[in-house]
Structure 1
Amino acid sequence: MNDSPPGCPLIDVVATYLPRLAESASEPGLAAAVDQHAAAVREALIPAQRGGARRTLRREELADYVLGFTDWLSRVEWTEPVGHDFATLRLTAVCRLVREHDLLDG
């Protein structure tokens, strides 16, 4: 059951970029790049606390991040390339975080 609110930007990102996440599984360099992007997004949203404790990534925070990022992509008139650039790696990393934290299913 999908408990994401209607219009949640994570749904569209996952629908579009999840296949790229699957591609990264067979390419170690690509997998490492996606891992680095996922870590950067996680750190931006939930900085490390003293003592190393981290709170859970929340769907609303990641959705807000995606809205801001895709808005910026729209303003710079970005188009998705055949290969992998910064934006596709970042959006693929968002898919990884959605899957890792089970953010689309309640």
Structure 2
Amino acid sequence: MTTETADVLARHGNVAVVQLSGRKFPGITIQGDSFSYLAGLAKSVAARAAQMGDADLDDAASELRERLEGILQVYETPLSEHGIPLPYVRSAPPASDSQS
């Protein structure tokens, strides 16, 4: 763990605009439970898009889901490493379809 300074440019509920030292542009922080909810929505959208028969929609929804899940993993890893419990219940991965 490192200690760094950041300027909070704005804060609204569970979201803040933060300027990290050494970065040209500010970033957005969002509470982990709020981000987990957004990732779950993206997962639902991707599942529905896969059923629509629109390849472009399916690709875009899948990419959105994958990117959000990747960011969520970046959040969850250090929490686990530092013994900090998740502020949400991690959903189980979907069961594989074993029908032949």
Mark yes or no: TM-score above 0.5: no
TM interval, short-chain normalised: 0.3 to 0.5
TM-score (norm 2): 0.35
Structure (1/2) with the larger strand percentage = 2
Indicate the structure whose relative CO is greater, using CA pairs within 8 Å and at least 6 residues apart.
1
Structure (1/2) with the larger helix percentage = 1
TM-score (norm 1): 0.34
